[in-house]
């Protein structure tokens, strides 16, 4: 197939691809995303291919490794079309059975279907699984249908139709107006309206302009951008070309973190394929619009995701933020107007152009439109990627989709917005997810990280943890961030170690104010959020640590003691055998005791004491009872009494 | 080119486009403290001490004057309760590293900064970057640079270059706001034990 010279040629090529595909013939999609590969997806794919070949089915059944559909917890995920039968945790040994039963005989292999932990009911189709049922997946849904190495898969699903529409039927100004009308706000950080950012660049005097994809994704634990980059690179590329057309840029950049080699490979391939078909390069689809794309690998420092640091790094200098008050969309990369948007923001653009701004704004809240992908992790039953309409409540996300908190623990807080986001407490669980709603609650949307915490989490320690991360990641250029965070980290560490003093909270507040108001870039400006939000909602935990040297969550090592309840200890010896410090004294039929001086508070005894005894308890802020006197330590057998 | 008019501390000032608020203030003899600024060098915006309050169309914000562009109609306040409080904290943070630096001691008196407010860690360098930037921008030798990131960031001479040029130059030594000895010390160390400290 040669270059496509017109939008019509693209359309007929799409029809040709579709005509070669029988929608009723089976197709096996196996997630080849990072999560599933880690649990063996590569082997599953290979065995599927071999098995289908061996049974002589190659002509009618296709196999493909696809992008990540989000349910990584249950991977490898296999979906069989056209019925959309979804199998979870599939191993290579399951493959012959799937081929024989499902593909040859149209029978469902029940045991591989999702089983509701509460009711025991099976869900056959992907869309019947509660994890997916409450989601609204407009950006992420194509991942499992696409082999990201094949542009044909993207085209078959209507890919590049938005580009053809824009170049063939819309002026560049109309494209901009549509994006403005959609009210889409950036998915990577501050939630700035993309259309307004684009307009600023478009109107800037300098004629050479750039559009840039921020694919740095520095938030630990977040992988929504990665899933899109690896799973559906053409959607981002198409968005970027549309952006270039709207603002008058002829050059685009992918800034991808080095830790994402597969993403880099897939994007390079996507660019090559798009160029091959004339969807990228000179005179795209015969429209006269030229656009080229360059891929740049970042060194992977968190601060490089910040817009001015990213552009400085693109220029080949050290990735430090710039102290400028002129926006990058007017003076950015090489001092030229530069539109920087997040991966997910770009991936939404083709959908907006294709389906229209009204379609986009029909989903969401007043000020936050469309859907948002979150990376749901922490103390939650179903971890993975979820895409939901803006305005869904945290409770719905955590309980309906995430399946709630495992092990019968109590929900305590959810941290949103990445390391510099905030913690939202239980009484705000009905908060609707949206940019302004989250900010008002003292947190933020950020790029969509969501970490669920249960009752065992100490909120002071959480603040300490995130501030430690940000202290490490600070570029060190400005004083309020570098020095302020260093001191905040010291004070918070002291508090969690029982060395907190009166006045520490006030000192922390002062440092927080200085970082927020006086830091050079948004890293320092938002870094105090974890502290400020935990102080706002969990002040009593700070006070307990400082005043009573007590950790209410029984989590801070220096503030807890382990103690064996003499009434419950059965002398089984499990803890004694596993205590790495030899701190436990006991014997068969002897109540065990812990030598507090030797104990390192590693928690092993607490973990290993069999649940039916639960003899080891944690204490905090109260004296440890004296050990049982030697003469009372013999355990009398209760079985005889019962008999 | 039309002049820009605005207000600093109640005084009407004029500027030409491209000037920063700090430059305008200095031109009119209004004092704003700085630590990382030097008229011969590109603005750095690192110390944040030159922070001022700006009222722009009813909005109050805090900006660093050494990079904030002068704009018509804005109202700048170089001292306010909050500006002073921010400067005090910045000074206290720096004095944890360089408690006796004369410039800091002077400023501490003005803003009531307590040199012992935060746990001390005397390392003297406050990362103003003057030495580094002077060497790169004026001397154009790049004999000294920052290495590492964040709280581990340090200045370091490149021994090969330093051995060749520094002895005859030493222009960066007196620029250092915390101690003449800091740059000299790091220099001497680089000459005596090349490669020490960063392995
Ligand atoms: C320290 C820091 C790290 C950031 N990291 C990222 C990132 O990894 N990816 C991203 O898209 N935006 C990141 N941002 C936000 C970007 O600076 C910028 O706002 C965003 O890429 C703009 O795109 P959007 O409007 O589509 O969200 C970061 C911001 C800061 C301050
Ligand atoms: S706020 Fe932090 S990361 Fe940003 S410039 Fe200052 S030191 Fe660097
Ligand atoms: S906490 Fe660790 S060191 Fe202490 S008694 Fe239990 S197992 Fe031993
Ligand atoms: S040595 Fe002195 S001049 Fe150089 S960065 Fe440090 S404080 Fe500034
Ligand atoms: S003088 Fe302006 S930030 Fe240092």
Q: Which of A559, A573, A598, A605 to mutate to test the pocket of ligand 3 (most atoms within 8 A of CB)?
A: A605
Q: Which pLDDT belongs to residue A198? A: 98
ipTM (interface pTM): 0.93
- Do the Cβ atoms of A477 and B127 come within 8 Å? yes
Distance of CA B88 to CAs A480, A513, B147, Å? Answer: 11, 12, 28
Q: Which pLDDT belongs to residue A458? A: 98
**What is the token pair recorded at A517?**
């108001």
| Termini Cα distance of chain B | 54
* A604-624 pLDDT tens trace: 999 999 999 999 999 999 999
Distance of CA B24 to CAs B12, B40, B67, B184, Å? Answer: 11, 16, 11, 34
- Residue A559's Cβ-count burial label (10 Å; 0-12, 13-18, 19+) is buried
Euclidean distance between CA atoms A289 and A75, whole angstroms: 43
Euclidean distance between CA atoms A343 and A234, whole angstroms: 11
Q: Which pLDDT belongs to residue A190? A: 84
Euclidean distance between CA atoms B64 and B84, whole angstroms: 13
For the entire predicted model, the pTM comes to 0.92
Quote the ligand 5 centre to B127 CA distance (angstroms): 12
**What does the pLDDT average to over B42-49?**
94
Q: Which pLDDT belongs to residue B199? A: 37
Q: Give the distance from residue A516's alpha carbon to the nearest chain B alpha carbon, in angstroms.
A: 10
Question: Which of chain B's residues have a Cβ under 8 Å away from the Cβ of A485?
Answer: 151
| Termini Cα distance of chain A | 86
Nearest Cα neighbor of A460 from A538, A367, A558 is: A538
**What is the token pair recorded at B99?**
């408690």
Is residue A417 scored above 70 in pLDDT?
Answer: yes
User: Binning pLDDT at 50, 70 and 90, where does residue A80 land?
Assistant: very high
- Do the Cβ atoms of A326 and B69 come within 8 Å? yes
Residue B45 φ/ψ, nearest 5 degrees: 65, 35
Is residue A502 scored above 70 in pLDDT?
Answer: yes
Is residue B28 scored above 80 in pLDDT?
Answer: yes
What is the full DSSP assignment across A117-160? Answer: TTT--EE-BGGGSHHHHT---SSSGGGGG--TT-HHHHHHTTTT
Is residue B14 scored above 60 in pLDDT?
Answer: yes
DSSP letter assigned to residue A418: S
Euclidean distance between CA atoms A398 and A424, whole angstroms: 12
**What does the pLDDT average to over A425-429?**
97
Is residue A302 scored above 70 in pLDDT?
Answer: yes
Euclidean distance between CA atoms A612 and A615, whole angstroms: 9
**Cβ contacts of A535-542, under 8 Å, gap ≥ 24:** A535/A463, A535/A505, A535/A508, A535/A509, A536/A442, A537/A413, A537/A423, A537/A424, A537/A425, A537/A442, A537/A459, A538/A413, A538/A423, A538/A425, A538/A459, A538/A460, A539/A505, A541/A458, A541/A459, A541/A460, A542/A460, A542/A495, A542/A500, A542/A505
Q: For CA atoms A247, A174, A351, A267, give the dihedral sign.
A: negative
**What does the pLDDT average to over A191-219?**
96
Of A473, A476, A487, the CB nearest to B93: A487
User: Binning pLDDT at 50, 70 and 90, where does residue B180 land?
Assistant: low
Least-confidence region, from A217-231, A375-389, B167-181: B167-181
Q: Which pLDDT belongs to residue B162? A: 85
* A366-394 pLDDT tens trace: 999 999 999 999 999 999 999 999 999 99
Contact of A80 with A27, CB cutoff 8 Å? yes
* A332-362 pLDDT tens trace: 999 999 999 999 999 999 999 999 999 999 9
Contact of A148 with A237, CB cutoff 8 Å? no
Distance of CA A6 to CAs A10, A168, A273, A285, Å? Answer: 7, 8, 17, 5
User: Binning pLDDT at 50, 70 and 90, where does residue B51 land?
Assistant: very high
Q: Which pLDDT belongs to residue A1? A: 64
Of A323, A472, A510, the CB nearest to B67: A323
- Residue B82's Cβ-count burial label (10 Å; 0-12, 13-18, 19+) is middle
Q: Which pLDDT belongs to residue A635? A: 85
Q: Give the distance from residue B66's alpha carbon to the nearest chain A alpha carbon, in angstroms.
A: 9
* A26-58 pLDDT tens trace: 899 999 988 899 899 999 999 999 999 999 988
- Comparing B184 with A535, the larger pLDDT belongs to A535
Calculate ∠ Cα A167-A195-A386, nearest 5°. Answer: 95
Question: Which of chain A's residues have a Cβ under 8 Å away from the Cβ of B149?
Answer: 301, 474-476
Contact of A338 with A329, CB cutoff 8 Å? yes
- Do the Cβ atoms of B45 and A520 come within 8 Å? yes
Q: Which pLDDT belongs to residue B2? A: 62
Distance of CA B192 to CAs A74, B148, B180, B185, B186, Å? Answer: 59, 21, 19, 10, 10
- Do the Cβ atoms of B118 and A482 come within 8 Å? no
User: Binning pLDDT at 50, 70 and 90, where does residue A643 land?
Assistant: very low
Is residue B124 scored above 90 in pLDDT?
Answer: no
**What does the pLDDT average to over A421-436?**
96
Is residue A473 scored above 70 in pLDDT?
Answer: yes
Answer yes or no: is the C-beta of B43 below 6 A from any ligand 5 atom. no
Q: Which pLDDT belongs to residue A490? A: 97
Answer yes or no: is the C-beta of A304 below 6 A from any ligand 1 atom. no
- Residue A435's Cβ-count burial label (10 Å; 0-12, 13-18, 19+) is buried
Pairing relationship of beta strands A584-587 and A590-594 according to DSSP bridges: antiparallel
- Please give the share of chain A, as a percent, with pLDDT higher than 90: 83
Q: Which pLDDT belongs to residue A642? A: 44
User: Binning pLDDT at 50, 70 and 90, where does residue A218 land?
Assistant: confident
User: Binning pLDDT at 50, 70 and 90, where does residue A641 land?
Assistant: very low
Quote the ligand 1 centre to A219 CA distance (angstroms): 10
Residues with Cβ within 8 Å of residue A534, at least 6 apart in sequence: A413, A422, A423, A459, A460, A462, A463, A541, A542
Q: Give the distance from residue A483's alpha carbon to the nearest chain B alpha carbon, in angstroms.
A: 6
Q: Which pLDDT belongs to residue A638? A: 57
Euclidean distance between CA atoms B32 and B30, whole angstroms: 7
Contact of A401 with A391, CB cutoff 8 Å? no
* A557-578 pLDDT tens trace: 999 999 999 999 999 999 999 9
Least-confidence region, from A285-294, A437-446, B26-35, B185-194: B185-194
Q: Which pLDDT belongs to residue A637? A: 65
Is residue A234 scored above 50 in pLDDT?
Answer: yes
Is residue B188 scored above 80 in pLDDT?
Answer: no
What is the full DSSP assignment across A372-392? Answer: EEEEEEES-SS-EEEEEETT-
Of A472, A513, A519, the CB nearest to B150: A472
């Amino acid at each position: 197939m040669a270059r496509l010279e017109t939008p019509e040629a693209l359309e007929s090529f799409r029809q040709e691809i579709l005509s070669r595909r029988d929608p009723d013939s089976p197709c096996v999609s196996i997630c080849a995303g990072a999560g599933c590969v880690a649990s063996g997806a590569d082997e599953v794919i290979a065995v599927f291919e071999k098995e289908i070949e061996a049974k002589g089915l190659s002509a009618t059944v296709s196999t493909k490794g696809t992008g990540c559909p989000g349910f990584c917890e249950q991977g490898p995920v296999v979906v069989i079309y056209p019925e959309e039968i979804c199998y979870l945790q599939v191993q290579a040994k399951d493959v012959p059975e799937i081929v024989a039963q499902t593909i040859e005989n149209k029978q469902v292999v029940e045991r591989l279907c999702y089983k509701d932990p509460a009711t025991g009911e099976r869900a056959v189709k992907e869309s019947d699984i509660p994890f997916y049922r409450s989601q609204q997946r407009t950006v992420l849904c194509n991942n499992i249908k696409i082999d990201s190495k094949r542009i044909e898969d993207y085209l078959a699903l209507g890919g590049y139709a938005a580009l053809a529409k824009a170049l063939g039927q819309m002026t560049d100004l109309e494209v901009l107006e549509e994006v403005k009308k959609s009210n889409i706000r950036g998915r990577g950080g501050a939630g700035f309206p993309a259309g307004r950012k684009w307009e600023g660049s478009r109107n800037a005097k300098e004629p050479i302009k750039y559009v840039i994809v921020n694919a740095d994704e520095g938030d630990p634990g977040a992988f929504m951008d990665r899933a899109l980059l690896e799973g559906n690179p053409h959607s981002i590329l198409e968005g970027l070309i549309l952006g270039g057309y709207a603002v008058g840029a002829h050059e685009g950049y992918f800034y991808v973190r080095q830790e994402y080699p597969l993403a880099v490979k897939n994007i390079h391939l996507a660019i090559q394929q798009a160029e091959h078909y004339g969807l990228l390069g000179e005179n795209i689809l015969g429209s006269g619009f030229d656009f080229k794309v360059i891929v740049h690998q970042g060194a992977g420092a968190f601060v490089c995701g910040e817009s001015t640091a990213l552009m400085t790094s693109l220029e080949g200098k050290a990735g430090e933020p710039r102290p400028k008050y002129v926006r990058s969309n007017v003076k950015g990369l090489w001092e030229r107007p530069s539109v920087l948007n997040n991966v997910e923001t770009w991936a939404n653009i083709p959908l907006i152009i294709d389906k229209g701004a009204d379609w986009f704004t029909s989903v969401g809240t007043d000020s936050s439109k469309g859907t948002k992908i979150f990376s749901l992790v922490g103390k939650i039953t179903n971890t993975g990627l979820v895409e939901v309409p803006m305005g869904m409540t945290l409770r719905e996300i955590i309980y309906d989709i995430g399946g709630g908190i495992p092990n019968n623990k109590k929900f305590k807080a959810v941290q949103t917005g990445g390391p510099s986001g905030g913690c939202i407490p239980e009484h705000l669980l009905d908060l609707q997810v949206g940019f302004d709603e989250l900010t008002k609650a003292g947190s933020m949307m950020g790029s969509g990280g969501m970490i669920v915490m249960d009752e065992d989490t100490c909120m002071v320690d959480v603040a300490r943890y995130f501030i430690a991360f940000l202290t490490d990641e600070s570029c060190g250029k400005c004083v309020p961030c570098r020095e302020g965070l260093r001191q905040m980290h010291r004070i918070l560490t002291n508090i969690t170690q029982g060395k907190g003093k009166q006045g520490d909270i006030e000192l922390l507040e002062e440092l927080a104010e200085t970082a927020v108001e006086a830091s050079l870039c948004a890293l320092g400006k938002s870094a105090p959020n974890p502290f400020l939000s935990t102080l706002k909602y969990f002040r009593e935990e700070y006070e307990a640590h400082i005043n009573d040297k007590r950790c209410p969550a029984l989590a801070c090592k220096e503030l807890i003691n382990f103690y064996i309840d003499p009434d419950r200890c059965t002398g089984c010896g499990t803890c004694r055998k596993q205590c790495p410090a030899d701190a436990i004294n006991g014997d068969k039929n002897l109540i065990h005791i812990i030598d507090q001086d030797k104990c390192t508070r590693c928690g092993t005894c607490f973990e290993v004491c069999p649940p039916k005894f639960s003899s080891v308890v944690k204490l905090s802020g109260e004296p440890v009872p004296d050990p049982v006197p030697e003469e009372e330590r013999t355990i009398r057998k209760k079985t005889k009494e019962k008999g | 080119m039309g002049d820009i008019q605005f207000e600093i501390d109640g005084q009407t000032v004029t500027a030409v486009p491209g000037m920063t608020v700090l430059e305008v203030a200095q031109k009119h003899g209004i004092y704003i403290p700085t630590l990382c600024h030097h008229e011969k060098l590109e603005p750095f915006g690192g110390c944040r001490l030159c922070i001022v309050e700006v009222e722009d169309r009813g909005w109050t914000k805090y900006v660093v004057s050494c990079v904030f562009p002068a704009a018509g109609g804005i109202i700048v306040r170089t001292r306010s309760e909050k500006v002073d409080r921010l400067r005090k904290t910045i000074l206290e943070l720096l004095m944890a590293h360089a408690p006796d630096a004369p410039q800091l001691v002077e400023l501490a008196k003005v803003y009531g900064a307590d040199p012992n407010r935060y746990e001390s860690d005397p390392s003297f360098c406050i990362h103003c970057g003057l030495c580094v930037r002077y060497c790169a921008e004026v001397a154009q030798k790049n004999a000294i640079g920052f290495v590492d990131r964040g709280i581990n960031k340090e200045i370091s001479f490149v021994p090969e270059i330093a051995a060749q040029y520094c002895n005859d130059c030493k222009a960066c030594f007196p620029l250092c706001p915390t101690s003449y000895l800091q740059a000299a010390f790091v220099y001497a160390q680089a000459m005596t034990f090349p490669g020490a400290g960063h392995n």
